[in-house]
Structure formats: C-alpha cells, structure tokens
Amino acid sequence: MKKSNKKFYIIICILTVCLIISVILNFTHNAKLKNGEETAVKVGKEKITANDLYKDLKEAYALNILIDKIDHMLLDTKYKTDDKETSYVENQITSLKSNYKTDDEFLSAIKSYYGISSEAEFKEMLRLEYKRNLAVKDYVKDEVVTDTEINNYYNSKIIGDVKASHILIKSKAKNSDSEEVKSEKENKAKEKAEEIIKKLNNGEDFSKLAKKYSDDEGTKDNGGDLGYFNTDDNYEEAFVLAAAALENGKYTEEPIKTEYGYEIILKKAEKNKPKLKSVKDKIKTTLAEDKLSNNNTLYYESLEGYRTKNKVEFKDSNINSQYKAYLKRLTKNSSSNN
C-alpha cells in the first residue's frame, strides 16, 4: 500500500467510530447550538454535542480499533490466510469450548473476557493474533538476532549427521522416591556405566556389551545402533553434541547424563557439516524462538518495531500518547511475568 494511503487511512480510522454513531443518532437532523455544534443527545436542559461525543469516543475506543486496523493493513496481505492459520483458529476455539458445557456459556465467557459477542468476531481476533505471531517471529529473526549470534550457533551447534551406537543404563529412580533414594539409584546407574567403559577399555566388543547390558530395548539387539541423527532429531542436544565431539571409532570415556539415564556412545561416522548459507534461516528461527521464550516483553517490543519499520505514524498527539502509554503498560505487565 502507498505511503500516502497509509497516513490517510489512519485519519479515516479515527473518524470511523464517530461516523457510525453519527448515523445511528441521525446527527444531520439534530439542532445546532449557537457555536455551530450539533446536539447529539439532550438530557433535560443539558446537551451532549457531537464534538463531546467524538472526544470521549476517541479516548475510550479509538486506540484499540486503530491498532487492529493498522495491523490488518500491515499483515493481511503479507500473511495470507492458509490451512495452518485456519487450523490454529479452530484448535483454539475447540480447546476453549471444552471448558464450557454449552455454546451460550462459551459466548458469555468471551464477551466477558474479550468484549466479543459472537464466535465469528472471536475467530477474526484469533486470525489477527496468528498473523501478529508470524510478524513478531519474522521481525526478531531479521532485526533482533545478530550475525555474531548466528555464527556462534553455527560454530558450536551445527554438525553433520552423526552415525553412532549407544549403551543406555537407566537409573530406575522414580518421582515418588526420596531425594536420598534417587541419588543412590543414580549413583548405581553411573557406576554400572563406568564398569562397562572399563570392559571396553579392556578390549571387549561394544555391540556385545550393548546386547548384554543396554536398557534401550529398541536398539540393544542390534548392538545399540542408532543410525544417523542430528540435533533436530528426537535426541537430547547434549547427547548429539557429545557424539559429534568424538573421533570416528572412539567411545565416550565418561558416561553422558541424559533424561533417560547414563549413556555410553560409540561414534561410527559423521557426514560433512552443512554450509552456513543452507542452515542460516533455520538458525535464525531457532534463536528467535529462544529469545521470545526467554523475554516476555520482546513480543510487544517487536510489534512496535514492526509498525515503526513499516512507517506507521500517529498524527493525532492524543492518540500517540495513548499508544505509548498502552505499550508501556503491556511491557511492564509482561516483564513482571519473566
């Protein structure tokens, strides 16, 4: 959309609500005061003018209406409605409805909480929320994540696919166990893993030891073979990076602690590390998600940054002041939850 149209649209948005009210109250047929103002409502001898109504209306409602309309202008074209968006909206509604016995209770709840009186209106709110989430992630990727962070992540965490085998020794600890019992079971598992490493040091075969001792029922019969894997597979990062750090044909000389227990890893092969160019966007996405999950205020700061980047300007000084106060309130509330 052209820059001039954006600025004009902001002015139009401010006037929209007043125009709707003026039609409802039929201002064109109201009497005018001496100063030319139209009377909107008479209460006995007192009068509420159209200007009074517009001022109050602008202060009470225009900000939220404007923000939604501006974001629709910025996002609806860039982030077209697709199956993912529709699925997100439907899942949100289904999940929320599950908390209520009837549709009337559901509608009453969203009206009370969001000020929304229909499911269709609620869906539109969720669609805008979905698009805002996409915009925030893109903004953080492009404007917040730095090249230094990308390079550091690439150098420390991006590896070629690793082929390895493992022997898993579970601790057998339970949540219901006391801390003392848990610690005892953990130590026994670690000691057992250390004994297996001693057997490897004495020349015993890794595959045979896996078949005999491993607690991973899915891999023990084939000698603990895991095939090729990487950090984006269903493995703990610590496990994958420990495997990658080994030389081919070498095994871990100390047990690796994971959520499953203690692991002994034998590295068999590793493919070439992908070029930075081919994984850069993936790294940016990962770093952006990490930043957003660790900083609650970043979401609102990014929405503000996204609007500013797209040259949104509030020409009405009162609306601009309200907008700044609104953002300050949001970031303050979200930072208290960090």
Check residue 61 and give its pLDDT.
59
Check residue 115 and give its pLDDT.
84
Q: What is the pTM of this model?
A: 0.71
Q: How confident is the model at residue 107 (pLDDT cuts 50, 70, 90)?
A: very high
Reported as a single tens digit per residue, the pLDDT across 212-254 is 999 999 999 999 999 999 988 888 988 999 999 999 999 999 9
Residue ranges of the alpha helices (H) in the chain?
3-25, 50-57, 63-75, 83-97, 103-114, 119-139, 147-157, 179-201, 206-213, 237-245, 276-294, 298-309, 317-335
Check residue 53 and give its pLDDT.
56
Check residue 131 and give its pLDDT.
97
pLDDT at position 4 over 60: no
Q: How confident is the model at residue 25 (pLDDT cuts 50, 70, 90)?
A: very low
In which order are the strands placed within the sheet that holds 256-258?
Answer: 225-229, 162-169, 261-270, 256-258
pLDDT at position 129 over 60: yes
Angle between helices 206-213 and 179-201 (to 10 degrees): 150
Check residue 37 and give its pLDDT.
61
Check residue 323 and give its pLDDT.
85
Residues of 141-164 as b/e, b for ≥16 C-beta within 10 angstroms?
Answer: beebbeeeebeebbeeebbebbbb
